[in-house]
Each structure stands twice: as C-alpha cells, then as structure tokens.
C-alpha cells in the first residue's frame, strides 16, 4: 500500500483540525503536536544533562559554564522545522523516537566544548523518564496557556450577559412545559457558575512527573554511582521543571493525574454542551435574535434563515472532544504489570481532544456574540401563560390557612382543577383569586402579580457571580 496519492502529495489534511479549522487551533500546535513532543523531549534531555553537572551527581563531571548552558537551552528555544526533519531522519534509522532525540543532542555536542560530558546525555534514563516529563510539560502548556485563557474568556462573556439580562423576565420550562418564571440573566448565570467551577479544577490540576529508571527502582543509578542520593537528584530535577515529583511508580508514571485532568476537561465540555443546546432552544423560541449582516449564509435555499450554526458546530466538536477525553481518562490509568505501550499511542490523541474543545469554545463565543435578547418575545410568552401563577396562588392560600383564614382548604387541588391542561388568562385567574375570600393584603398581592413579575430572587441571584 502506497502513501503517495494526488491529495496526499498536495499536503491535504486528514483531520479537520489541520484543515478547515486550523486557524482556530493553531496555537495548540506549539504545545500538543508531535513536533512539540520532540521539543519537550529535547528539553528534558538538556535539563537532565545540566542538572547532573550542576549537582555533582556523577563524580568527575564538571559544572557547565553559563555560555554552555545557554547554548544547550538555545537548542530547545530554536527548535524548528529543520530540526523536526532531522529527527525524523534519525528515527528512521533508530526506529525509536526517544533514542533519536538522544542521538540528535549528541550530534549537537560533537565538536563543542561540552563534548566531554556527552556520555551524560540520557544517563540512566529509560525512555519513559523522558516521555512522562515531556507529556506533562506539553499538557501544562497547552491547557494553561491556550485552552484555559479561551475558556476563561467565554466565562467572562457569560458573566457579562448574565449581568446585562439579570432583570429580564423569562418563562421557564421544566420538562419542556411552562413553569415558574425566571430571568434570562439568572439562567445564564447558572451556566457561568457551573463553568467556573470546572475551570477552577482545571487551573488547580497537579502535573506529576517521575525520573527513576526502567522499573522505578533507580537500579542503574544506584549501581553506576552508589554514593549519590538519586531520589533527591530526581526530586529536585522534576520539581525544577515545575512539576510535582511522584516517587512511587513502575516504569511509567501511572497517569492518574492525566485522567483527572481529562475528566475535568470533559465535565467543562458537558457544561458547554448543555449551554449550547439550551441557547439553541432559546433561539428557536425567539428569546434570542441572531444578529444579521455578519457575512454568513443561513440557508442555501431559504434567504430568510439565520441558522444557529455556531452552537451546532460547538455541540459536535464537544461530543468528539468529550468522547476522546473519556477514553483517555478511562484507559491511561491501566498498564499491564510494570509497563505496556498502550499509553504511548493513546497520549498522542490529547492534542486532538483538546483541539476539538478549543474549537467548540471559539464557536460558542462567536455564537453568543451574535445574539440579541428580544424582550418583546419574552414578554409575549409570559403573557400567554398566566397559569404559571397557580403555584403562587396555592402557596398564598396555604400561608393564609396556617394563619387561620377560613375557606383555604385543598389549595393545590383547586388550582389543579383551574389550570391543569388549560390556558388561563389574566381575567380568569384574577376572577378566581377574588372568589377565594383571602385576607385583603394577600388578595392585593395576587391581583397585582403578573407572570413577568413572578421571578422571585432571580435578578438578585446573579449577584452570586
């Protein structure tokens, strides 16, 4: 089977993230691509060499000079397309990705003043020592520097919309049926609060790393240089990378922290999915009007349409992302005995999973930015559903009965007979109220009540944001 086809030779993308949606997800390439993985592997190898020399862990190894360290770190900072191609060529010979990085670094040391410590490159490391740290650095960068700022910007949009519409009455729907009114802002505030909770979990994620050899025992280290405290060398190295040191592992770092992170990201996705489907429904009900004149075509045949495509696109990408995040979280916590390679292929999909989520965040923000609330539509819907005040009437009757008012028996049943399965208008409800024999103050409250005014603390609740 040949990989050469007209479209392949033209560089056509297989994944929509690398094709149609590339401009949105491009910032993640710097952190979660195959090239970024190799750059972070190189970073780990360079920093391990510097650390070994600086700590005197290996007797006879000299401390590197400032210019040498700067030059070594410059290899990472300047890592680019030519280096990617060179590494790929080396890997075709080694048939081993981490070994290719080791050989690449050794080449860069050849003929330089640092060549005398070349044997410390990849000293006592197993591939997973390099890989687990590289993946931790990649995920920290991709999530903290790209995904989280985008998600936080979406959260800020939601907070602003919630505050703007905190006072705007809206008919609620439970089970799809008219229910006790709320405000548009309060419902948006619920989503803002839910999203904030998940973002705080993602922000507080621990990124673990290990460096302890082929089965997590420091066996090679202890035999090569028995006089060195290798646990301390490992701890200070891992923590020096900004990661949390894990002292107890097999050959691999168990990835539990990754599973936790992916689960948190998946929950954030699910909150956004709920937001998108509800917003779609509000658009369908006419509560939101989509802003026209944004240069988009709603329908290829129906000129009047402005479709809620941003929210539908976000839904689809959230579902793809969540499915991948779920399988990552479920599978990465298992490794047969001291090591199997199932995690190697699985972890390579993290960029795809987070990329689809980032794309959904972008679409949701664009979709929300294209909405205007329609107070007239909201008011009309409320005015068409006076029966939702049945809850208020029977609650006032119950309170009056407790206070000793006569004639207040069976309030729920009486309101059920009046309202269930029927539309009740303002006149009908008020006529019912005046015939109840309520205390004057209670009757006045109910006669003054409208569906639009029956929103309780909804506006005030937005203040919890």
Here the CATH number for the domain that contains residue 359 is: 1.20.200.10
User: Taking CA 318 as the corner, what is the angle to CA 314 and CA 324, rounded to the nearest 5 degrees?
Assistant: 150
Residues 303 and 267 in one domain: yes
Among 101, 125, 149, the domain-final residue is 125
Q: Are residues 134 and 121 in the same domain?
A: no
Same domain, 169 and 110: no
Provide the phi-psi class of 107: left if phi over 0, else alpha when psi is between -120 and 50, else beta: alpha
Q: Both 362 and 415 in a single domain?
A: no
Distances (CA, A) of 54 to 51, 89, 274, 330: 5, 32, 52, 40
How many residues appear in the chain?
465
Question: Which pLDDT does position 301 carry in this prediction?
Answer: 55
Q: pLDDT value at position 7?
A: 78
Is 18 part of a structural domain of the chain? Answer: no
CATH number for the domain harbouring residue 403? 1.10.40.30
- Last residue in a domain, options 125, 156, 179: 125
- Are residues 99 and 183 part of one domain? no
Same-domain check for residues 359 and 400: no
Q: What 3-state DSSP class applies to 12?
A: coil
Q: What's the pLDDT score for residue 3?
A: 66
pLDDT attached to residue 295: 41
458 lies in some domain:
yes
- Stretches where the chain sits below pLDDT 70 are 1-3, 292-305
The pLDDT of residue 377 is: 97
Q: What are phi and psi of 354, to 5 degrees?
A: -75, -30
Q: Are residues 361 and 409 in the same domain?
A: no
Contacts of 293 (CB under 8 A, 6+ apart): none
| Residues 210 and 236 placed together within one structural domain of the fold | yes
Per-residue pLDDT, 265: 98
pLDDT at 299: 54
Query: Active site includes 165?
Result: no
Q: What is the pLDDT of residue 326?
A: 97
Q: Which of 175, 300, 304, 345 is labelled catalytic?
A: 175
* Cβ burial, residue 3 (10 Å; 0-12/13-18/19+): exposed
Contacts of 304 (CB under 8 A, 6+ apart): 298
Q: Is 175 a catalytic residue?
A: yes
pTM for the model? 0.93
**How far apart are the C-alpha atoms of 185 and 192, rounded to whole Å?**
10
Q: Which has the closest alpha carbon to 42: 112, 117, 143, 133?
A: 133
Shared domain for 219 and 352, answered yes or no, is yes
Q: Is the dihedral of CA 96, 99, 105, 110 positive or negative?
A: negative
Residue 11 counted as domain residue: no
Q: C-alpha distances in angstroms, 15 versus 114, 241, 349, 356? A: 42, 32, 12, 11
pLDDT at residue 12, as a whole number: 84
Tokens matching residue 429 = 């409800």
pLDDT at position 57, please?
98
- Structural domains counted in the chain: 3
Closest CA to 263 of 192, 322, 334, 339: 322
The whole-number pLDDT of residue 293 equals 47
Q: Which residue in the list 96, 284, 296, 299 is annotated as catalytic?
A: 299
353 within 8 A of 321, measured Cβ to Cβ: yes
Q: Which domain holds residue 70?
A: 23-125
Using an 8 Å Cβ cutoff, are 306 and 296 in contact?
yes
């Amino acid at each position: 089977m040949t990989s050469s086809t007209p479209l392949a030779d033209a560089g056509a993308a297989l994944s929509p993230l690398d094709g149609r949606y590339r401009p949105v997800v491009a910032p993640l390439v710097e952190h979660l691509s195959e090239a970024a993985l190799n750059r972070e592997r190189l970073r780990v190898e360079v920093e391990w060499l510097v650390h070994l020399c600086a700590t005197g862990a290996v007797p006879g190894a000299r401390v590197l000079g400032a210019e040498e360290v700067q030059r070594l770190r410059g290899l990472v900072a300047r890592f680019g397309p030519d280096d990617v191609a060179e590494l790929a060529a080396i890997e075709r010979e080694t048939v081993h990705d981490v070994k290719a990085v080791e050989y690449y670094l050794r080449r860069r040391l050849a003929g330089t003043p640092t060549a005398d410590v070349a044997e410390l490159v990849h000293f006592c490391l197993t591939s997973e020592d390099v890989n687990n740290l590289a993946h931790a650095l990649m995920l920290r960068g991709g999530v903290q520097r790209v995904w989280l700022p985008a998600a936080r910007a979406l959260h800020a949009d939601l907070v602003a919309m919630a505050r703007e519409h905190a006072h705007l009455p809206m008919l609620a729907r439970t089970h799809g049926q008219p229910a006790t009114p709320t405000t548009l802002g309060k419902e948006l505030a619920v989503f803002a609060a839910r999203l904030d909770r998940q973002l705080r979990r993602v922000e507080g994620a621990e990124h673990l790393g290990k460096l302890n050899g082929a089965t997590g025992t420091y066996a090679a280290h202890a035999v090569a240089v028995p006089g060195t405290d290798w646990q301390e060398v490992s701890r200070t190295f891992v923590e020096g990378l900004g990661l949390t040191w894990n002292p107890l592992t097999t050959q691999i770092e168990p990835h539990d922290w990754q599973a936790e992170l992916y689960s948190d990201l998946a929950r954030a996705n699910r909150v956004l999915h709920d937001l998108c489907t509800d917003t779609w429904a509000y658009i369908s009900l006419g509560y939101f009007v989509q802003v026209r004149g944004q240069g988009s075509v709603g329908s290829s045949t129906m000129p009047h349409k402005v479709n809620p495509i941003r929210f539908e696109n976000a839904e689809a990408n959230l579902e793809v992302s969540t499915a991948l995040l779920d399988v990552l979280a479920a599978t990465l916590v298992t490794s047969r005995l001291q090591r199997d390679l199932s995690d190697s292929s699985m972890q390579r999909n993290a960029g795809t999973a987070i990329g689809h989520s980032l794309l959904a965040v972008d679409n949701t923000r664009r979709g929300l930015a294209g909405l205007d609330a329609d107070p007239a539509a909201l008011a009309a819907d409320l005015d068409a559903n006076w029966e939702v005040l049945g809850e208020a009437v029977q609650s006032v009757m119950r309170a009056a009965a407790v206070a000793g008012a006569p004639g207040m028996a069976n309030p729920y049943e009486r309101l059920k007979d009046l309202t269930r399965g029927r539309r009740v208008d303002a006149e009908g409800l008020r006529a019912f109220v005046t015939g109840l024999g309520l205390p004057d103050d209670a009757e006045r409250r109910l006669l003054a009540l409208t569906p639009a005014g029956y929103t309780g603390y909804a506006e005030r609740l937005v203040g919890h944001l």
